Structure 1
Amino acid sequence: MATKIIEWDISKPPFRIENLEGYRKVLVLVRMDGVPLGLVRMDTPFPSLEAEDLLREIHRRLGEKIRAKIKERRSKPVLSSAKGIEDRPSCPHLPAPSTLPRVSVCICTRNRPEDLRRCLDSLRVQDYPNYEILVIDNDPPTLATKDLVATYPSITYLMEPKRGLDFARNRAIQEAKGEILSYIDDDAVADPRWISSLVKNFLSDPEIMCCTGPNLALEMETEAQELVQALIELRGGLGQGFEKRIYDLNSPVGSCYPCKPIFGVGCNMSFRKKVFDLVGPFDEALDTGAALPGGGDTDMFYRIIRAGYKIAQDPCVLVWHRHRRLYKELRSQLYNSWGRGFMAFLVKSFLTDKPYRRTLLSAILVWYGYQLISCVLGRLRGKYEFPMDLILAEFLGGVVGLGSYFASRKRIAKIKAKRGAKDEVPQFREA
């Protein structure tokens, strides 16, 4: 049975939730004045859910946070934005539209026109006045994506012939005209205030070079999608929490920092364009298609922190992502991206960042310890509720990942040599 996903703003009149036939649970994104506060899950034994029952559960789970927000709202005046839209104290207002930075929204895609259409439609209704949309079609097997983009006159279509996500990401850097580059996956939907919310973070502090936000489930209709959500919750949200955070090199986050995947995900990440001059482009040996489909986003976050800059994580910078629908797709993702890709990032960083080798070695050992003790043994003892074949897929991916970066690096060198380009390993640079 599936889970129905809804949004509920407690600052607006409550309503009864209908049409729950076929759903065993609801997952509610709770907002206040548009600002996300958290997720609340409830069983749905009936075809509808009364507003009073849901409100009771919301206040039980998020009551302390709601009271804090009410107190904050009463203590500060409401600000008026340049567009005449009210902004609550938690979302500072933007300056006049004529002074706002240009944002280049970049969608790297390959052969998913239906997903892409939904993503583009969400981007066309953003409340931000100064942005462009680039679609980077990565080694396309058909003209479907090009034909789709042609129906959107204001959107720029680019074809990147070298297959690999980081090739497409770097092509976006070359072509973008904006001061800020925002990456969103083709199977994601942007919140209407996504761009304006991320821009506010960059305007707040010149040392912020990257901004991320929650990557919430667009649908939970299959077993695989339910399992992805369960895994995200088991891992503490994977950097997708609902408290605003600013990370830098001195953030008190515990051991193995900044090697842990806590900063966000590539589905929802934005950068000042100049940061790529400071820390280098995306590493094309990571997130490079079937050869090594993962690690590129984590590597970029790590290099930004190691270079002495800041990453903002803001719950208002929200996208909805269609997670893998099929079980075999989820197993492949855990093996390739979560296991092999993450380990390849750690190995690459160990080789290139000598001052942090001890921390990186600790991160590698901690990862294997967590996988074996917490996941594998925990599952055998009934303390870790996740399918064993998926646990083993991620673990085996991590084992294979020890050698994956070397093989991928050789492949990239050959690809670049054919085009007369020099192959260099992007790595962090001291500020």
Structure 2
Amino acid sequence: MKTHQPYRISHISLHEPVEMPELDHHQGNYLVFWWKTIPLGDLYLEPGTNTSTDEYYKAMGQAILPTLNHYAQNPAELKANYLATTSPDKLKNLQSWLPANLQITATEIIPEKVAVSVVVCTRNRAAHLKCCLTMLQNLTCRPAEIIVIDNAPTDESTREVVSAFSEVKYIREPRPGLDIARNTGVSNAKFPIVAFTDDDVSVHPLWTYQIWQTFEKPQVAAMTGLVIAAELATEAQYIFEKHWSFNRGYTDVKYDSDFFRKTLRKGPPVWNIGAGANMAFRREIFEEVGYFDELLDVGAAGCNGDSEMWYRILKAGHTIHYNPRAVAFHEHRKEIEGLKKQLFYYMRGYTAAALLQQQQLQQAGYAKQIFWVLPRHYLRLLRSGFPHYSYRYRTIAAEMLGVLSGLAYYIKNKRPNTKLSR
């Protein structure tokens, strides 16, 4: 079997003097391009790829052009100037042209603190939590409140970590379940915006500021942000990022009643909106559409409590904004066995959530997804992976078992439609 080569992640700032980075051709390279605090795009260079300078700048140009076009005041003028990205000397011309021609919000005065409650749900992961809290308290723009929900702990390690952070609120939630913990966080949040991140996530210094800015638009009821891989050292991490990535792209997306109506017949793909590791809500929306469904996510079905909540928000006619300037960095599971377990619960939760969403609105096409589209999808994977089932195909059995488990879980736990309250 071919040995998987790690990928080195490099973050490249295009507003600074740029030269082609030194690439280790014996391993893969994953390059993320930025303009100051704005992520623009990414590029994979496979192991063994000998990339010339001209090839590098051409590939970089293709990677970031959609985002620059998204921000450009005059896309036609951008296209004309964009031909200048095939060499480092010509890139300097583009660097001088971009600042005056991109509609990128630049705020010279960043508030020290904004009215956002950040909730971190955790369980027996003291080392991760300590790093997370240290990071949150050292952001350029800090949240007004940080709440740690200690979910069904078996020791006092979480409490001990939080005790070292005087401004962090500690709450013990004895009932196991991620959505139970999330709901406890919402119930105890004091501020009008409630943001969630995970204990194994680090966020950009302006993450809280970007969340706060997003909700300056009164029509926005919820938001998600960009999640970039923090490490691609193992095959499991690479498989996840390539086929299950939390990265939803580098341009803003508005999900609203039009999106919901146009996709209803096939089942709105709410799981594409973002990731629970980087999401936020107006606190008042929970009073209208209900709290997170405690049948879902870790401790129950396994996953999709976030996307099921987004489904209810859209069904109620509200808007969700994907803001790629609110950036988080996620550490994927390193081992294949860990990835198999994760994807089992992903598909278990996906199946249960889809059928719960179907139950809420019979016109939704989720039943067709589960009983027709998904079996055909896995049949194609089984055929294309035969006979070795390596790389992406190594997790197929776990995924299919997750679907069957999710179906059984739904049948056992389905209930009448009621508003989900605390």
Q: Shorter-chain TM-score category?
A: 0.7 to 0.9
Q: Tell me the matched-pair count.
A: 393
> Partners of 1:130 and 1:260 in 2: how far apart?
27
Contact kept? 2:41, 2:67, Cα under 8 Å: no
In the alignment, what sits opposite 2:43? 40
Cα 1:54/1:117, change in 2 over 3 Å: farther
CA drift at 1:363: 2.8
Cα 1:64/1:163, change in 2 over 3 Å: closer
- Residue 135 of structure 1 aligns to a residue in which SS? strand
In the alignment, what sits opposite 1:380? 386
In the alignment, what sits opposite 1:10? 14
Aligned equivalent of 1:263, options 268, 273, 287: 273
CA drift at 1:272: 0.4
* RMSD of Structure 2 on Structure 1 (CA): 3.4
TM-score of the superposed pair, with normalisation by structure 1 = 0.81
> Partners of 1:95 and 1:273 in 2: how far apart?
26
> Partners of 1:329 and 1:306 in 2: how far apart?
34
Contact kept? 2:72, 2:103, Cα under 8 Å: no
> Partners of 2:264 and 2:311 in 1: how far apart?
15
> Partners of 2:52 and 2:202 in 1: how far apart?
28
- Residue 30 of structure 1 aligns to a residue in which SS? strand
Cα 1:365/1:243, change in 2 over 3 Å: farther
Does 2:30 match 1:27?
Answer: yes
- Residue 57 of structure 1 aligns to a residue in which SS? helix
> Partners of 2:256 and 2:40 in 1: how far apart?
24
Aligned equivalent of 1:217, options 210, 229, 233: 229
> Partners of 1:243 and 1:116 in 2: how far apart?
30
- Report the AA paired with residue 183 of structure 2: N
TM-score of the superposed pair, with normalisation by structure 2 = 0.82
CA drift at 1:264: 1.0
- Residue 116 of structure 1 aligns to a residue in which SS? helix
Contact kept? 1:101, 1:178, Cα under 8 Å: no
In the alignment, what sits opposite 2:340? 331
> Partners of 2:42 and 2:180 in 1: how far apart?
35
Contact kept? 2:143, 2:208, Cα under 8 Å: no
Cα 1:97/1:281, change in 2 over 3 Å: same
Cα 1:157/1:361, change in 2 over 3 Å: same
Does 2:412 match 1:404?
Answer: no
CA drift at 1:327: 0.9
CA drift at 1:91: 2.7
In the alignment, what sits opposite 1:58? 60
In the alignment, what sits opposite 2:85? none
- Residue 254 of structure 2 aligns to a residue in which SS? strand
Cα 1:59/1:189, change in 2 over 3 Å: same
Cα 1:62/1:97, change in 2 over 3 Å: closer
Does 2:104 match 1:90?
Answer: yes
In the alignment, what sits opposite 2:307? 298
In the alignment, what sits opposite 1:149? 162
Q: Which runs of 5+ in 1 are unaligned?
A: 76-85, 411-422
In the alignment, what sits opposite 1:131? 144
- Cα offsets for 1:59-92 (capped at 9, x unmatched): 24334644665666999xxxxxxxxxx9x73236
Aligned equivalent of 2:178, options 165, 170, 174: 165
